[in-house]
Amino acid sequence: MNEKGNLFIVSAPSGTGKTTVVRALLKKMRGVTRSISVTTRPPRKGEKKKNDYCFISETSFKNKVRKGEFLEWAKNFGHYYGTPKKTVYATLKMSKDVILTIDVKGAAQVKRKKPDSVTIFIVPPSPRALVRRLKKRSTDGSKEIKERLKIAKKEMSFARKYDYLIVNDKIKEAVEKLKAVITAKRCKVDKNRNR
Ligand code: ADP
Ligand code: 5GP
């Protein structure tokens, strides 16, 4: 497959602000788009179909898994999440960069399949800030928040496996850093080309 765009994988514990940072970046940078994941999780208040996620049933999701329609998929907090392969490859082929905002399990699957993808891990400035943000989002009950914090601890231990680490303290600064990573990749010389 002749892909010309770059693939970026952004992971962060739920509530860190990766969606906020990536959305702000997309407003500032041309030639880059975000992959819309497919999920069996019910939509949160304010989430829009095909803008945030493509919401489907568990049966449809499992059918897609069987048909090999996902670049990667994983189960989080009792729901399935997956990246549609066809859309991602079609976008890369058009020389557009693609950002996947996915969890650490999915990131590992993609990095194995596409070693030239760039992985970025976003962390909150402190555990307390993460709790504040999860509460601020007010989409999860206290039981869900506890579960997300437990998983967050586990996910943080994967941070060192990523190519870049960004602390999301001030949104503006985190966006600038993500922008710098994308720019650097675009300027990188591909030593394997024409070999
Ligand atoms: P994620 O996609 O990582 O689960 P969200 O982007 O939904 O996280 O952000 C979770 C909450 O934190 C939202 O209410 C968002 O407005 C807030 N938030 C994101 N980044 C920051 C930041 N740098 N400072 C303060 N609040 C933030
Ligand atoms: P949320 O329900 O908070 O939107 O997402 C829960 C977790 O699922 C987050 O860690 C998020 O990054 C992850 N996630 C979202 N979409 C995908 C996807 O397509 N694949 C994988 N593996 N994880 C995803």
When mean pLDDT is compared across 35-49, 128-142, 144-158, the lowest value belongs to 128-142
Ligand 1 pocket at CB < 6 A:
12, 14-20, 133, 136-137, 168, 170-171
Residue 1 is predicted with a pLDDT of 52
> How would residue 194 be classed by pLDDT, with cut points 50, 70 and 90?
low
Rounded CA-CA distance 1/89 in Å is 9
Position 46 pLDDT exceeds 60: yes
Distance 79 CA to ligand 2 centre (A): 9
What does each C-alpha distance from 175 to 77, 172, 178 come to in angstroms?
27, 5, 5
For residue 137, give the ligand nearest its CA.
1
164-188 pLDDT, tens digit per residue, is: 999 999 999 999 999 999 999 999 9
146-163 pLDDT, tens digit per residue, is: 888 888 999 999 999 999
Q: What is the DSSP letter of 164?
A: E
What is the number of the ligand 1 atom nearest to the C-alpha of 174? 23
Distance 102 CA to ligand 2 centre (A): 5
What is the number of the ligand 1 atom nearest to the C-alpha of 20? 6
> How would residue 98 be classed by pLDDT, with cut points 50, 70 and 90?
very high
Distance 173 CA to ligand 2 centre (A): 23
Q: What is the mean pLDDT of residues 21-50?
A: 92
Residue 137 CB neighbour total at 10 angstroms = 15
Distance 41 CA to ligand 2 centre (A): 10
Query: For the chain, which domains are there?
Result: 7-187 (3.40.50.300)
Query: What percentage of the chain has pLDDT greater than the value 70?
Result: 95
Measure CA 195 to chain center: 31
When mean pLDDT is compared across 12-26, 35-49, 102-116, 137-151, the lowest value belongs to 137-151
Distance 18 CA to ligand 1 centre (A): 7
Residue nearest to atom 13 of ligand 1 (CA): 137
For residue 88, give the ligand nearest its CA.
2
Residue nearest to atom 6 of ligand 1 (CA): 17
For residue 44, give the ligand nearest its CA.
2
Residue nearest to atom 14 of ligand 2 (CA): 102
Query: What percentage of the chain has pLDDT greater than the value 90?
Result: 77
Distance 89 CA to ligand 2 centre (A): 19
Residue 147 is predicted with a pLDDT of 86
Q: Please name the residues in contact with 3: beta carbons below 8 A apart, sequence gap of 6 or more.
A: 89, 92, 93
Q: What is the pTM assigned to this prediction?
A: 0.94
When mean pLDDT is compared across 20-29, 46-55, 126-135, the lowest value belongs to 46-55
Position 193 pLDDT exceeds 70: no
For residue 25, give the ligand nearest its CA.
1
Of residues 16, 38, 53, the one with CA closest to residue 148: 16
